[in-house]
Structure 1
Amino acid sequence: MILLDGKKTAADLKIEIAESVKQLKIQGNKTPHLAAILVGSDGASMTYVNSKVKACELVGFNSTLIKLPEETTEEKLLQEISNLNNNNDIDGFIVQLPLPKHIDEQKVLMAVNPDKDVDGFHPTNVGRMALDMPCFLPATPFGILELLERYKIETSGKNVLVIGRSHIVGRPMSILMSQKRKAGNATVTVAHSRTKNLNEFTLNADIIVAALGIPEFLTGDMVKNGVTIIDVGITRVVDATKKRGYRLAGDVHFESVSPKSAYITPVPGGVGPMTIAMLLKNTLLACERK
């Protein structure tokens, strides 16, 4: 069993991105600039955004963080997005999700300029991705592809099962892995909450991408020997033995699945760090395209 070390791979990527930034500066080009809008004070969102700001500093990006109160109106948020769209120094920006319930998430994502949509959520980028055209790929699926490529995991002709059909991970992952690309050319099945006899699919899969948000859902009896496991889930599970009162669990029951796996991502330290690294890579691409 080989651990797919997202933490180390992300660190390697950041070194490569930092070198590219250095070269841009030597050539007299602008420094990549990533901005983020955070509405409210959700703990997980604040942690995630702060880690993005630190990552920007590490690779030599400029970064801007716009913090707005929970009661911010939709109109005010859309104005902030418009300001970033029209700011030529900003190469890419993200609106941290989830948003407060009084704000229409879809309306907000639609307002982002697709050329600055480094999260890859705008319908223009999603459509271009589906047509295998140049675009910003959603950061988490992009990170998974990068892991598969760097660990030289064979995907061509393999049976890939994606569990989950979210717009952020499940659906884009199923599209990308079926395309003609290095980590692609696979036969892809998408399973979800209405899938019957799920075990039949999991036991036949060479590669499983678990992205359903249910902690430790996938267990050892559900997979075959030699499977590759990509665990996208991360949930706080109450655990009185931990100092913080909780532990982080993925969608995969690591103890029972890992002995049967050829490759597996840990939680934490697997897909999570890759997501931030690929957000940086998208921002670098946005800057270079200018």
Structure 2
Amino acid sequence: MIDILTRSNEKIVKGELEDLHTKKIVWVDTLDPTDVQLKKISEHSGISVNDFKEHHTARERPNTFEFEKYSMIVFGCPASGYHLPTTIAVYILGNNNIITIRKKEIAGIQRMKDEILEKSPKYFDSAAKVIRVMFERIVDDYFAELDKLQAETDRIEARAFKQPDEKIMEEIFKIKKQTLHMHKTLIANREVITQIEKQYLSKLSRKEIYEFTDIKNDTIQLIDSTETLRELATGVIDIYMTSVSNQMNIVVKKLTVAASYVLIPTLIASIYGMNFHYMPEIPWKWGYPFSLGIMVLSIMAMYVYFKKSHWL
């Protein structure tokens, strides 16, 4: 898919690849482009197909690159659910044109395009502003995804208290893994913004580089949030292990009580079950009901004892 936006007077309209040869600000956004589409873009941009393919991957590490004809930014983007984060490659041409290539759908990019077409032509004042707004929407997606993971962690924590089961460990480890991947990507994104601020990219206007400071601050906040979430997930694991241990203690306590009930009756039965010839109670008329009565009284005594000890 190729989506081309350009500015016509005070409106943002759909454009053509030929607009890359004009002085207009043009944004060419591609989603998992084919070789034929990359060849068409190459013909109008001057960037070789091999250069496009080299960075056409969802798992490339965020970074910046400087070439003679263009500057390039690879920026990490969040993925919904328990999927790995993806990336978007941003090519900045010398005439303020932008080409973005991404392997997967990114919610923030689509949201930004809708905003531009509906009410925000001011985003198209320069390439730097388009990229800044793009990164802001991606950072917003990170915040939204972290909020989802936080809510999921809270839900699992409540389950760990009330009804711990084996699925809790599986779910919490998924959250920890997802948070770890986000943490690594955000650290790389922070370095990308730092390189932009240090003016490593010649095709970006130096006058507008300061606008990326807010994105860097938000990224630092996201990094801190992922660390907090990982600690919270570790705490949920501790809660789960404690709950399982408590349940085990309850089971052992119940088994101890049950075994105690039959302890004295078993002792009495064992004594009178010995085959000695001279036992005073053997010829006694009331010996049998007496032994049974002692057994019942011992069980009642044990019940009263455990009740007062709050074991029952």
* TM-score above 0.5: no
Relative to its length, the structure with more strand (as a share) is 1
For the pair shown, the structure with the greater C-alpha radius of gyration is 2
The TM-score, its normalising length taken from structure 1, stands at 0.22
Indicate the structure whose relative CO is greater, using CA pairs within 8 Å and at least 6 residues apart: 1
